[in-house]
Structure 1
Amino acid sequence: MASKGEVHVVHLYPLQMSIYGDLGNTRTVTARLARHGYTPVLHRHHPGDPFPEKAHLVLGGGGQDSGQARVQDDLAVIAGRLRELADAGTPMLMICGMYQLFGNAFVTVDGDHLPGVGILDVTTHANAKRMVGPVVLTTDFGEVVGYENHSGATRLGAGQAAFGRVRSGCGNNGDDGSEGARTGNVFGSYLHGPILPANHALADALLSYAVPLATGRPFEPAALDDAIADQARTRQIRRLVG
């Protein structure tokens, strides 16, 4: 069967900022693209590399504070390009540490400010409380499940939309019921798991934004059997919220 077209996927800092299983998000989107009949082209962007010329979907994962510090200089170099892509509607999914760095700033326990790229209007402060455990969210893509493990407390700026509302878990900060952030087609979230294998509606939504940019045509999904993923998601929802 002929390919429906190439879709270029960029994974930001896979060595420094994907230490909590978030590589599974990259594997999910490339696998689902292939199953839907498209040809995924994966670019792994490391500090110091030129940013790929083609980028239709951008992913980033979680890491320790030291990992964030190691990628900060390179992120400043490519920030302008990332903002251009975001303004053009390029879908992006940033998890945990990269979510924080896509905001305005991350403030460490010592009071140091690590500036972010400012695509999402959020600010994160290191926090004595660690927020750990399974999560259930209500989102525009249905109920989304995952696992959080972060000590950063994130606050949304005025007018910044959350990615979801917490049904079970802590979310951005443990007290306002918000989880993650969304601006256009750019999503930030604390949910590991990784998030996409168990939440195929979200995964395919990202593809539906990426494919028209790549091919000039609407996304044409194939009929996929996602029964196992649905069972895993449903089981977590029932266990946590009934």
Structure 2
Amino acid sequence: MELKIYHMYPDLLNLYGDLGNVTCLRQRCQWRGIDVEVVGFSMNHEVPLDEGDLFFIGGGSDRGQNIVYSHLLKYTRMMGDLIEDGAPVLAICGGYQLLGEKYIDADGNDVPGLGIFDYHTRSEEGRLIGNIIIENSLGLNPETLVGFENHGGRTYHDHQALGKVKVGYGNNGQDSEEGMVYQNCIGTYLHGPLLPKNPHLADYLILKALERKYGLKELSSLDDQPEYAAHEKVLKLYSP
């Protein structure tokens, strides 16, 4: 078996060490004997999106996100079709915001998003910063996801949330929800990077990609005892 992981705009959307998410996905596949090709999709390297099996979109500066929007706009329909077809997508922070309809800046100006989903993000006073723990809505075991958030925008939507906030702020600091899930597309504010801290979520994305491509229903297990020991330590340190 083989997978193509598309890392979207790694030269522009590369804040907070979230490259580690792609590294984690590749390594966990290779440990299982699954061949992986990581494809960097960028303005200087456009390749057919429909050849991708799993997509990662990170966060970037305002300038970087504006450049990405202008370039990715012509691929909006294809990206939407891939999501509808069940392609796994992990979009973090600015990538999460980019999939929505718009970002409303501090001056009240609408900055357009791709409009794949009908949600918006609003810049509000103060940043939401700190460690975050959520109870995931995907039925994963462990039921918790841990990470770090740092965002000035507040996202509002009616889609299924990735999880309920136990510690931290989440989408907007008000409704106790974090992230968004639609089909196999996940948007979230969890940095860290997210997947090395939560191998059960990494395996969820890998399995969805393999299920879509090969019909696989189960992954072989790995020895994740060190990761889950660290996970439990975080829960003890920060849970109320």
* Residue number in structure 2 paired with 1:20: 16
CA deviation string 1:104-136 (max 9, x = no partner): 111222333222223333210112110000000
Aligned partners of 2:76 and 2:116 also within 8 Å: no
User: Deviation of residue 188 (structure 1)?
Assistant: 0.2
- Read off the aligned partner of 2:238 and give its amino acid letter: L
| Aligned-CA RMSD value | 1.4
Specify the SS of the correspondent of 2:203.
helix
Superposed counterparts of 1:1-242, under 5 Å = 5-47=1-43, 49-52=45-48, 53-139=50-136, 140=138, 141=140, 142-157=143-158, 160-214=159-213, 216-241=214-239
User: Deviation of residue 220 (structure 1)?
Assistant: 4.6
Divergent runs of 4+, >4 A = none
- Read off the aligned partner of 1:105 and give its amino acid letter: K
Give the Cα separation in 1 of the matches to 2:98 and 2:223.
35
User: Deviation of residue 217 (structure 1)?
Assistant: 3.1
Give the Cα separation in 2 of the matches to 1:210 and 1:37.
15
User: Deviation of residue 13 (structure 1)?
Assistant: 1.0
User: Deviation of residue 176 (structure 1)?
Assistant: 0.7
- Read off the aligned partner of 2:16 and give its amino acid letter: Y
Aligned partners of 1:102 and 1:118 also within 8 Å: yes
Aligned partners of 1:120 and 1:181 also within 8 Å: no
CA deviation string 1:11-66 (max 9, x = no partner): 11111112111100000111111112210111101125324341110001111212
Aligned partners of 1:153 and 1:173 also within 8 Å: yes
Change (3 A) 1:127 1:186: same
Give the Cα separation in 2 of the matches to 1:95 and 1:64.
13
Aligned partners of 2:153 and 2:172 also within 8 Å: yes
Change (3 A) 1:103 1:51: farther
Specify the SS of the correspondent of 1:20.
helix
How many residue pairs are counted as aligned between the two chains? 235
Q: State the TM-score, normalized to the length of structure 2.
A: 0.93
Unpaired stretches in structure 1, ≥5 consecutive residues: none
Aligned partners of 1:48 and 1:74 also within 8 Å: no
Give the Cα separation in 2 of the matches to 1:48 and 1:107.
29
Q: State the TM-score, normalized to the length of structure 1.
A: 0.92
Unpaired stretches in structure 2, ≥5 consecutive residues: none
